[in-house]
Amino acid sequence: MLAALALGLIVSPGAAPAQNLVVQVTTEPPGLDLTATPASATAGVVLYNVQECLVKVDRHGKIVPWLADRWHTSDDRNYTFFLKRGVRFHNGRELRAADVKFVFDRAMNPETKHPYPGYYSAISDIIVKDDYTITFTLKTPTANFLLNLARQGSVIYPREAVDTLKSEPIGTGPFKLAEWVRGDRIVLVKNPDYHVKGLPKLDRVTYRFIADPNAALAALKAGDIDATMFGLGPEHVPELQKDSRFQVILGETTNDVILSMNNSRKPYADVRVRRAVTHGINKPDVVKGAMFGLGRVLGTNVDPLNPYFVDMAGAVPYDPARAKRLLADAGYPNGFETVLRVSPQYAYSIRTGEVLTDQLQKIGVKVRIEQIEWSQWLSRVWKDAEYDLTIIGHAEAWDIGNYANPKYYFRYDNADFQKLFKESETTVDDRARRALYVKMQRKLVEDAPVVWLYIYPRLAVTKKGLQGVWKDLPLPANDLSEVAWAK
């Protein structure tokens, strides 16, 4: 065996050609059809790399024209998009307005089981004016209409490829799918006919599925992968920051990690208990203990990449004495016992739970951690709300609407908040909408339906010399079009 290994010296793997990139990803996508799955693992590969949208969220979180050169609206109800000319799908056919109409008609058809039908519920009509002009008519002004057109469910594909999207997605993106070896890797190659001159800079991107973080770290150190975009935890950062071979990219994401309390269950149905729990948590210590100091302390649901973010991290300060008083007022002078259900699928949730258990003990809340498998967590906690407490990161951008849905697993049901949210959805004026978002965030702080703990940081590690990687992630995409090795 050792002799055979030694032979490896002679036939060692050759150095990767200049513009090739091998990226580790933790989870293999369950399919590559963004119009069928909401999985972030799929978006991480396909969105903006293989398939694109009429508009795009750029690295700064700004909505910019993309497959549509520009758009026009005079009344916030009729949006006319002017398509960029000469954009070709990977099968060589030119993108036309009829393709766009087909994509959105299909998304709005309940039979196609699109994962985000709500994105398009405001659309009443789509009219193709000519090959390059298309108008969307909305039932009511919809504030997030453009944003929704930039999100993963809104990718544009040729209608003739609709049946093979799950395994062979075709789009207009900077990369084409070359192969998907299930269980091992996905390989993308440069699209030579890409509609943006000079992009992409890479010739080939290989996504390797390595679930185990230790194996991913070893692969990085051994030089078998060039980058890991989501695979390593904060515990690996100090060591890698000291290693001159690598660069650690730390930034913001939309992934807010929360301690959810079941608002429909005793004792959390009582707002005083929820506030007590919030006062009983020392968030900076949670970030130190569970995240090695990485991650921004959070005060409400809106993340720092959202233009309506208001920093409310200090709104409910750590105050164990006040927490105890609130518990006594609510009829729990000696505290109570409770169960925290978490899934080991996400190591941060276990670590955070352990820190919280210690902190809450000090105000009399005795937490027992129960680890359950991910599919059980989805069924029991997320779907059926069979839980007292749970910890999870919500990666979706603009997800404040979850708090307006009384059936969501928080079971937070507040008519005032629901009204504010509804109003915010149809308010297009930026100042008025901002005011509504501030009100919503204040309302959430007051009602404490969950405890917003911290933003899970953007944590990418690459070999030195790789440029153009997005520092922040304003949406769950991993756009590699501008990434390149320094010459």
Partner 1 sequence: MRRYIARRAAAFAATLFFVSALVFVVVRVLPGDPALVIIGPEGSPEAAARLREALGLNRPIAVQYGEWLARALRGDLGVSLQYDVPVGRLILSRLPVTIPLTLMAAALMTTAALPLGLYAARRHRRAGDYLAMLVSQIGIAVPGFWAGLLLILLFSVHLGWVESGGFAGWSSGLWPGVRSLLLPAFALGLFQTAVLVRATRSSVLDVLGEDYVRTARAKGVSELSVLGKHTLRNAMIPIATVAGLQLGQLMAGAIILESVFALPGLGRLVLGAITARDLPLVQGVILFVASTIVLINFVVDLLYGVLDPRIRYD
Query: Based on CB atoms, which residue is closest to partner 1, 7 or 196?
Result: 7
Considering only 125, 212, 239, 243, the residue that binds partner 1 (CB under 8 A) is 212
Question: Does position 6 bind partner 1 by CB under 8 A?
Answer: yes
CB nearer partner 1, residue 43 or residue 50:
43
Q: How far is the CB of 269 from partner 1 (least distance, A)?
A: 21
- Size of the chain in residues: 487
What lies within 8 Å, CB to CB, of 245 at 6+ separation is 463, 464
Residue from 16, 19, 20, 38 in contact with partner 1 (CB under 8 A): 38
Name the DSSP class of 260.
E
| 11, 15, 321, 415: which one binds partner 1 (CB under 8 A) | 11
- 37 touches partner 1 (CB under 8 A): yes
Q: Measured between alpha carbons, how far is residue 420 from residues 38, 148, 254, 372, 438 in Å?
A: 27, 20, 22, 36, 10
Q: How far apart are CA 244 and CA 295, in angstroms?
A: 23
- If one asks whether residue 209 binds partner 1 (CB under 8 A), the answer comes out as yes
Cβ(80)–Cβ(129) under 8 Å?
yes
Residue among 464, 470, 466, 479 nearest 19 (CA):
466
Inter-helix orientation angle 271-279/320-329, to 10°: 160
Burial class for 369, CB neighbours closer than 10 Å (0-12, 13-18, 19+): middle
Contact segment (CB under 8 A) with partner 1 among 34-42, 53-61, 303-311, 464-472 equals 34-42
Question: Which phi and psi angles does 413 have, rounded to 5°?
Answer: -130, 95
243 binds partner 1 (CB under 8 A): no
Report if residue 226 touches partner 1, rule: CB under 8 A. Answer: no
Residues contacting partner 1: total by CB under 8 A: 57
3 state DSSP class of 457:
coil
Amino acid of residue 142 = T
Cβ atoms within 10 A of the Cβ of 326, count? Answer: 23
Amino acid at residue number 222 = A
By CB under 8 A, is residue 17 in contact with partner 1?
Answer: no
The distance of closest approach from Cβ of residue 356 to partner 1 in the complex, given in angstroms and rounded to an integer, is 20
Neighbours of 420 (CB within 10 A): 22
Check residue 1 for interaction with partner 1 (CB under 8 A): yes
Instruction: Note whether 69 binds partner 1 by CB under 8 A.
Output: no
Mark 113-142 with x for binding to partner 1 (rule: CB under 8 A) and - for no binding. x-xxxx------------------------
Which member of 302, 340, 391, 395 binds partner 1 (CB under 8 A)?
Answer: 395
Map tokens 């979180």 to a residue.
61
Residue 196 identity: V
* Binding to partner 1, residues 297-356 (CB under 8 A): none
Q: Give CA–CA dist 37/286, Å, rounded.
A: 33
Q: Do residues 23 and 206 lie in contact, with contact meaning Cβ atoms separated by under 8 Å?
A: yes
Give the nearest distance from C-beta 332 to partner 1 in angstroms: 30
d(CA 38, CA 158): 20
SS3 content of the chain, % helix, strand, coil (to 5): 30, 25, 45
End-to-end CA distance of the chain, in Å? 40
CB of 218 to partner 1, least distance (A): 5
Q: Binding partner 1 by CB under 8 A: which of 181, 196, 269, 339?
A: 181
Beta strands 389-394 and 336-342, pairing class: parallel
CB of 394 to partner 1, least distance (A): 8
Among 45, 392, 480, 483, binds partner 1 (CB under 8 A): 392
Residue 394, interface with partner 1 (CB under 8 A)?
Answer: yes
Q: Which is nearer to partner 1, 5 or 415 (CB)?
A: 5
| E strand residue ranges, 39-147 | 55-57, 63-65, 68-73, 78-83, 123-130, 133-138
Rule CB under 8 A: is residue 167 a binding residue for partner 1? yes
Stretch that binds partner 1, among 8-16, 91-99, 186-194, 464-472 (CB under 8 A): 8-16
Interface characters, 371-390, with partner 1 (x: CB under 8 A):
--xxxx-xxx-xx-------
Does residue 224 belong to the site contacting partner 1 (CB under 8 A)?
A: yes
- Of 123-131, 216-224, 253-261, 290-298, the segment contacting partner 1 by CB under 8 A is 216-224
Q: How far is the CB of 368 from partner 1 (least distance, A)?
A: 19
Name the residues that contact partner 1, by CB under 8 A: 1, 4-9, 11-13, 28, 30-31, 37-40, 113, 115-118, 166-167, 181-185, 208-212, 214-215, 218-219, 221-224, 373-376, 378-380, 382-383, 392, 394-396, 407, 476
